[in-house]
């Protein structure tokens, strides 16, 4: 049995309405709900641990799979796998992306988070923008969830990866941009990069990307939607430029199954910073689905599943090559010393807490020893406080900022060096 998650491209946007769903979609969502209830009883048999946490006043849930060979004696990678719009983490695991066998062999913690229901009752992943589907803080939830998992298990914090389907793929791209300090590599499937993630991409390190998308995908069009989601030509150009890979892609044709109605072109951009890369599997005539060489159903068009490739294995084999700062065997980085890695890049983090009253912490990292300026500005662009104006060593730094002399409102903090400038927004509420 196979359930197709038809995640509408506009699910991140307020313009999407319940009456835009087809009757077939409504029936499918109902079926998914029933199946989720039925299958919940078998979770223990699948060796999953159901975890909960409260974030931003909402109780959130996620399924954790611990491989049988895990014993806590060594730090292991963490893989986050996000479901599509209107469905559940269990349905996604059961019908799309069961990576438990790979986790058992490779020894990584596998997590299927559950999206919260918006005002219309549909589970989703919210990408914060003017067109947000809801006001749910999924970015903050994901960051908190990672921290909770690190406390529970022996996890290599340099090897945290994210993949997702449809709306989960949109969110995966957003994590690559806005949670780059925790995510080593991303693997979106059947979902394009949101325009807001492109416009506000906050990544300050190379992030390797492997993606899969069908040219006949009607729910998340390959060529994007103007103003909302980028086309794959734009997405691949962005990440290859960002990682400073080779300009020209190596193209490999793949067609191992002549009965699935689709074929694959692999585009590979290699030799980026710290050996980062971008791999894109363009599925010719492929639909809104998760490629699976063992799928029972296949065919052309929107519901077609490509059987030339197996996304689960390709995703892990790709991601496993990288940690937070590049490919593991790259001679440009030293992977044996976590502290030296942490000093390798410039970064200005979001202040914490935010909003704040009146104290907050501003953290940043420097790639080398140099003169640094850290300054606070009001909405009118006038400097109100200069926190740092001196020479600092490379590495991690934090400043405790007390705003007791300032009035409530929005402020900006700016980090400046001879080779790096970054500005972020913060909110003071008294």
Residue range 371-426, pLDDT digits in tens: 999 999 998 788 999 999 999 988 889 999 999 999 999 999 999 887 677 888 89
Co-location of 218 and 361 in the same domain: no
Co-location of 295 and 410 in the same domain: no
Q: Could you give the angle at the alpha carbon of 264 between the alpha carbons of 258 and 269, nearest 5°?
A: 160
- Residue 92 located in a structural domain: yes
Co-location of 249 and 372 in the same domain: no
- Quick check: 267 and 254 in contact, CB under 8 A? no
Co-location of 307 and 376 in the same domain: no
Query: How many other C-beta atoms lie within 10 A of the C-beta of residue 106?
Result: 17
> Quick one: which H or E segment has residue 114?
none
Co-location of 302 and 351 in the same domain: no
Co-location of 63 and 131 in the same domain: yes
Co-location of 128 and 254 in the same domain: yes
Specify the residue for token string 């935010």.
Answer: 354
Domains contained in the chain, number:
2
Q: Which tokens in the block code for residue 218? A: 């009607």
User: What angle separates helix 167-178 from helix 138-152, to the nearest 10 degrees?
Assistant: 80
> Quick one: which H or E segment has residue 12?
none
Residue range 316-332, pLDDT digits in tens: 999 999 999 899 988 65
Give all strands of the β-sheet with 409-416 in edge-to-edge order.
383-392, 370-377, 409-416, 421-428
Domain boundary residue, one of 268, 297, 327 = 327
Distance CA 213, CA 99 (A): 19
263-269 vs 322-323, strand pairing mode: unpaired
Distance CA 311, CA 308 (A): 10
What pLDDT sits at residue 335?
45
Q: Which tokens in the block code for residue 338? A: 């976590």
Distance CA 131, CA 113 (A): 23
Co-location of 154 and 25 in the same domain: yes
Co-location of 354 and 293 in the same domain: no
Query: How many other C-beta atoms lie within 10 A of the C-beta of residue 388?
Result: 17
pTM metric for this prediction: 0.71
Chain centroid to Cα 29, Å, comes to 24
Chain centroid to Cα 411, Å, comes to 28
- Residue 38 located in a structural domain: yes
Domain boundary residue, one of 275, 296, 327 = 327
- Residue 233 located in a structural domain: yes
CATH code where residue 144 lies: 3.40.50.1820
Distance CA 141, CA 126 (A): 11
Co-location of 15 and 111 in the same domain: yes
Residue range 144-173, pLDDT digits in tens: 999 999 999 999 999 999 999 999 999 999
Q: Which residues contact 397 (CB under 8 A, 6 or more apart)?
A: 363, 364, 365, 366
- Residue 84 located in a structural domain: yes
> What pairs with residue 212 in β-bridges?
189, 281
- Residue 341 located in a structural domain: no
What pLDDT sits at residue 244?
93
Q: Which tokens in the block code for residue 32? A: 């998914």
Co-location of 195 and 258 in the same domain: yes
CATH code where residue 365 lies: 2.60.40.3080
What pLDDT sits at residue 110?
98
Co-location of 16 and 122 in the same domain: yes
Each residue's pLDDT expressed in tens, for the chain with a length of 430 residues: 232 333 333 333 222 222 333 333 433 443 444 344 334 333 333 489 999 999 999 999 999 999 999 999 999 999 999 999 999 999 999 999 999 999 999 999 999 999 999 767 899 999 986 667 688 999 999 999 999 999 999 999 999 999 999 999 999 999 999 999 999 999 999 999 999 999 989 888 899 999 999 999 999 999 999 989 999 999 999 999 999 999 999 999 999 888 888 999 999 999 999 999 999 999 999 999 999 988 776 555 567 788 999 999 999 999 999 999 899 988 655 444 444 444 457 788 889 998 999 999 999 988 778 899 999 999 878 899 999 999 998 888 999 999 999 999 999 999 988 767 788 889 999 8
Q: Which tokens in the block code for residue 317? A: 């084999």
- Residue 98 located in a structural domain: yes
Query: What are the percentages of helix, strand and coil residues in the chain, rounded to 5?
Result: 25, 30, 45
What pLDDT sits at residue 298?
58
> What pairs with residue 413 in β-bridges?
376, 424
- Residue 336 located in a structural domain: no
What pLDDT sits at residue 27?
37
How far is residue 355 from each of residues 143, 297, 336, 351, 429, measured CA to CA in Å? Answer: 17, 49, 37, 9, 6
Q: Provide Rg for the chain, Cα atoms.
A: 22
- Quick check: 293 and 280 in contact, CB under 8 A? no
Choose among 3, 92, 89: nearest CA to 52: 89
Choose among 3, 212, 10: nearest CA to 120: 10
Question: Which residues form the domain of 81?
Answer: 9-327
- Quick check: 66 and 49 in contact, CB under 8 A? yes
- Residue 423 located in a structural domain: yes
Chain centroid to Cα 261, Å, comes to 30
């Amino acid at each position: 049995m196979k359930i197709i998650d038809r995640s509408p491209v506009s699910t991140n946007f307020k313009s999407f309405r319940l009456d835009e769903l087809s009757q077939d979609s409504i029936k499918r969502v109902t079926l998914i709900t029933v199946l989720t209830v039925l299958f919940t009883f078998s979770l223990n048999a699948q060796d999953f641990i159901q975890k909960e946490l409260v974030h931003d006043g909402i109780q959130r849930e996620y399924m954790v799979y611990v491989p049988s060979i895990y014993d806590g004696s060594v730090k292991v990678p963490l893989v986050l796998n996000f479901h599509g719009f209107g469905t559940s983490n269990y349905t996604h695991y059961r019908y799309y992306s069961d990576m438990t066998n790979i986790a058992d062999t490779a020894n990584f913690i596998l997590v299927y988070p559950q999206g919260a229901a918006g005002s219309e009752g549909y589970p989703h992943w919210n990408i914060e923008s003017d067109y947000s589907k809801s006001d749910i803080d999924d970015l903050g939830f994901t960051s908190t969830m990672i921290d909770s998992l690190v406390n529970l298990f022996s996890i290599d914090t340099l090897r945290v990866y994210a993949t997702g389907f449809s709306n989960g793929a949109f969110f995966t791209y957003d994590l690559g941009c806005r949670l780059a300090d925790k995510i080593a590599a991303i693997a979106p499937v059947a979902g394009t990069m949101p325009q807001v993630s492109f416009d506000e991409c906050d990544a300050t390190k190379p992030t390797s990307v492997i993606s899969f998308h069908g040219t006949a995908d009607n729910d998340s069009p390959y060529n994007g939607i103007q103003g909302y989601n980028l086309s794959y030509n734009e997405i691949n150009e962005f990440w290859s430029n960002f990682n400073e890979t080779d300009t020209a892609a190596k193209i490999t044709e793949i067609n191992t199954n002549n009965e699935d109605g689709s074929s694959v072109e692999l585009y590979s951009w290699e030799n980026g910073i710290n050996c980062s890369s971008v791999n894109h599997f363009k599925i010719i005539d492929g639909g809104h689905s998760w490629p699976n060489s063992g799928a029972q159903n296949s065919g052309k068009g929107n519901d077609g599943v490509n059987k030339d490739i197996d996304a689960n294995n390709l995703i892990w084999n790709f991601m496993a090559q990288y940690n937070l700062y590049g490919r593991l065997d790259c001679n440009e980085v030293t992977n044996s010393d976590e502290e030296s890695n942490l000093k390798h890049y410039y970064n200005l983090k979001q202040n914490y807490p935010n909003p704040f009253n009146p104290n907050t912490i501003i953290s940043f990292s420097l790639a080398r020893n140099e003169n640094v300026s850290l300054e606070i500005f009001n909405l009118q662009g006038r400097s109100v406080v200069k926190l740092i104006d001196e020479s600092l060593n490379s590495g991690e730094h934090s400043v405790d900022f007390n705003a007791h002399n300032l009035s409530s409102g929005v402020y900006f903090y700016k980090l400046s060096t001879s080779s790096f400038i970054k500005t972020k927004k913060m909110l003071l509420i008294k």
